[in-house]
Amino acid sequence: MSSKATIGANRRNAQRSTGPRTKAGKAASSRNATRHAVFAASPVIPGVERAEDWEAHRAATLESLAPVGHLETALAERVAQTLWRLNRVVRFEATAIATGQEEAAERARGEDANSGDRDAGRLRKVDRDLEGQQGEQEGIASLLRLLNDLPGLGANAAVPGDVVRSLLEEVVSHLPAGTPAVDFEGDAFLKLFGLPADEDPWEEATWTATQVRDAVGRLASLCGTTVERLLGLSAASVREVASRGQKAIDQLAGEAEGLRGRLVVREQRERGRCELPDDVVVQKVCRYEAHLNRTLFQALHELERLQARRAGRPHLPPMAVDVHVDAPVG
């Protein structure tokens, strides 16, 4: 049994307890006694629906029905809640269809690991090959520009080391048979052109146009030919490579376009199959919607009878209809 001191302390503590003071705290505590959704003061689903939308809908519904007294207001509240739940049916149907559409698109793109879609797998490979071929073509275009422009470049014009390397490789490949072997990447050859010894000549160092012309000149002197001839032969060869590369790009791009076209057709077919949810979902939605409609009309009819009685107008009493179905046995 509690002592008088304990009882007094409890009473003093209770007087100091004022409960939640913020709006969020009051809103949370207002649901403390809720044990089932039927008795919830607010039908809003957290994270899916907004309380302000519900309040606007509720106020508009009550304004339209204009209830008077507790019973009419309770029925009008039920109408508002039922209409709110019916809106979920529409959202559910739209979400189900949209989800089916998204899944159809994923299947059409071959994103489903179990789809075994060869077109989608082939398209991914073609896109990778096309990207690689386009990268190579950009390098070939840079080399061809340098071959064509080198004779007229200013003495100190900067030339990237990686493009110089490609140029020297091409030039060496056109040296006549019997030309003494030359290692243009070796230190002995590179020192002739005053490149920084502490930098990678192909990745870090920047060549000048004069250094590049001198390097080609050294190679030309090994076989008694001219710089112009070596550059001309190299440019003709690179143009041929560029032409083959462009044809490969065009071929890959055409194949990719065809594959994408087939995938689009397949996606459209898949989407067509998903214009409506499957039969199980449709039946479930229809049953739920029918239940809500019955609840809605029952509440509306009862409200109308109450309002008619209050206004002194004639009104029909509620009616019950028994339906019996006899079916033959056997």
- Per the structure, the complete domain to which residue 254 belongs is given by 118-273
Assess if residue 327 is contained within a domain: no
Claim to verify: residue 205 and residue 87 sit in the same structural domain: no
Q: Which residues contact 118 (CB under 8 A, 6 or more apart)?
A: none
- Are 119 and 258 a contacting pair, CB within 8 Å? no
Query: Which of 222, 252, 273 is where one domain is finished?
Result: 273
Assess if residue 219 is contained within a domain: yes
Assess if residue 83 is contained within a domain: yes
Claim to verify: residue 93 and residue 202 sit in the same structural domain: no
Digits of tens for pLDDT over the chain (330 positions)? Answer: 455 555 565 566 555 555 555 554 554 454 444 333 333 467 888 888 899 999 999 999 999 999 999 988 999 998 999 999 888 888 888 878 887 887 777 777 666 554 546 888 889 999 999 999 999 999 999 999 999 999 999 999 999 999 999 999 999 999 888 888 888 888 888 888 877 767 888 888 889 999 999 999 999 988 888 889 999 999 999 999 999 999 999 999 999 999 898 888 777 766 655 555 677 887 887 898 889 888 888 888 888 888 888 888 876 666 645 554 555 545
Claim to verify: residue 100 and residue 144 sit in the same structural domain: no
3-state secondary structure of 48: coil
Q: Quick one: CA torsion of 163, 166, 170, 172, rounded to 10 degrees?
A: 110
Alpha helices in the chain (DSSP H): 4-16, 23-29, 51-65, 69-108, 118-149, 161-173, 187-190, 209-222, 227-273, 279-311
How much is the pLDDT for 38?
38
Claim to verify: residue 47 and residue 160 sit in the same structural domain: no
How much is the pLDDT for 7?
56
How much is the pLDDT for 1?
47
Claim to verify: residue 263 and residue 175 sit in the same structural domain: yes
Claim to verify: residue 300 and residue 259 sit in the same structural domain: no
Assess if residue 325 is contained within a domain: no
Claim to verify: residue 136 and residue 231 sit in the same structural domain: yes
- Predicted model pTM: 0.52
Claim to verify: residue 134 and residue 96 sit in the same structural domain: no
Task: Name beta bridge partners: 158.
Answer: 208
How much is the pLDDT for 28?
47
Query: Which of 249, 273, 297 is where one domain is finished?
Result: 273
Q: Which residues contact 97 (CB under 8 A, 6 or more apart)?
A: 274, 275, 276, 277
Assess if residue 68 is contained within a domain: yes
Place of tokens 């040296």: 175
Claim to verify: residue 71 and residue 177 sit in the same structural domain: no
The kind and range of the H/E element at 274 are: none
Assess if residue 39 is contained within a domain: yes
Claim to verify: residue 98 and residue 221 sit in the same structural domain: no
Claim to verify: residue 79 and residue 157 sit in the same structural domain: no
Assess if residue 16 is contained within a domain: no
**Residue 225 phi/psi, 5° resolution?**
-115, -175
How much is the pLDDT for 328?
57
Claim to verify: residue 143 and residue 232 sit in the same structural domain: yes
The number of folded domains in the chain is 2
Assess if residue 216 is contained within a domain: yes
